[in-house]
Chain A
């Protein structure tokens, strides 16, 4: 039996009268890469933010590594140390070099001493192939490089799971490949990942499960083969192939 790292149960979020999503159930097993897809505005980003408690869900429960993190008074900062998050627009700390972006969590949150933090930060940069950019500031890096630094920053905290919120959507087409390559490598290394993306090539090739979210609820979920070739709902097929057509071309050109 695989070991669930993340369990989400009946998660619901509303803004006023507007239901962002309701009664979402998701389980991500250790070492798995699960992909969430769906039209824009269906609450995918909000869902990720609710999972690492950046946004407060209205109701529902979340367990990380068997421990419920949605009980009142649970240490949210502690939770976020163990859930890595990568954002669409990178959000690197603008005043810090690539190395210091990765290092700051290690020295200020994990309280490693300077030598240890620096060594670990450098290793993580190397892991995303950017050891030679350690002393560059975000403003001196391409979007793809910035996103890879952001991934290294999250990895440095040794998270139990990594959340990716459309990590390639803000990138120029020619820079998408390098970021997907890093994510692919992570998946192969056994990192547990939950990825919101439109990159169907990545979803099909790397993911263990695809979750199709629309209008705030899960329409269908299953292995890539099931969803692409034997979907239960016509709507799933329609969406998947439309997205593949839209985003697939540039991938096959790579």
Chain B
């Protein structure tokens, strides 16, 4: 057995893992941001709706949701497993990201909204120019955590047949009878992806941190 080709075979799934994450994370962020704004500023009815959405989505294992959403998504539009899986994961993540952004929005002191309204900003302007920029900074650490979870959960699309890292590790472990090496390799790649992502976001957090007393 050629070890380097063995590893290469698994590692070539990285592109899929990265691509799935790069679709589902931003999708989850966009949905999560919209939902959290509706939750916090949308009034009683929307608050209730979003709260239900949040508890349902977070109360079911991602793999189960993935199958449900996969059949819903691919039933209504003709999508490849890759796209259907990525979109489904993004929807799962949106509930978690909604909670992250909601927490951050609520952590911005209420006085900031009052001050923004006092210079004549509309509520929307205040949210956009005053609340969100501050919430964004507060959201980075928990968001970094969610990014790690989504990268790892991207392995779930293997169940739909997408040839990403885990799928390839499983295939080659069967054909080569080297399961240990196969899964260690897969684990290592996931670890590196998560590690790099977290360091990157740590860097971002430091870069946008507001200066205090010199």
Count of interface residues, chain A, beta-carbon cutoff 8 Å: 26
Interchain CB contact under 8 A, B111 and A91: yes
Q: Which of B111, B125, B134, B211 contacts A109 (CB 8 A)?
A: B125
Assembly CA distance A81 to B116 (angstroms): 10
Centre residue among B111, B112, B119, B212 by max chain A CB count within 10 A: B119
If A80-B117, A109-B125, A157-B119 touch, does A95 touch B210 (CB 8 Å cutoff)? yes
- A228 interface residue per 8 A CB criterion: no
A166 to B: closest C-beta gap in Å:
14
- B129 interface residue per 8 A CB criterion: yes
Looking at chain B, what size class is its interface with the partner chain? 20 to 34
Measured between beta carbons, the chain A residues less than 8 angstroms from B115 are 87, 91-93, 150
Q: Which of A91, A95, A108 contacts B133 (CB 8 A)?
A: A95
Interchain CB contact under 8 A, B111 and A87: yes
Measured between beta carbons, the chain B residues less than 8 angstroms from A93 are 112, 115-116, 130, 134
Q: Which of A85, A94, A139 contacts B112 (CB 8 A)?
A: A94
Interchain CB contact under 8 A, A109 and B119: yes
- Total contacts A-B at CB 8 Å: 71
If A81-B119, A87-B111, A154-B119 touch, does A104 touch B129 (CB 8 Å cutoff)? yes
Measured between beta carbons, the chain B residues less than 8 angstroms from A67 are none
Assembly CA distance A104 to B122 (angstroms): 13
**Chain A residues with a Cβ under 8 A of chain B:** 52, 54, 77-78, 80-82, 85, 87, 89, 91-95, 104-105, 108-109, 137, 139-140, 150, 153-154, 157
**Chain B residues with a Cβ under 8 A of chain A:** 111-112, 114-122, 125, 129-130, 133-134, 137, 210-214
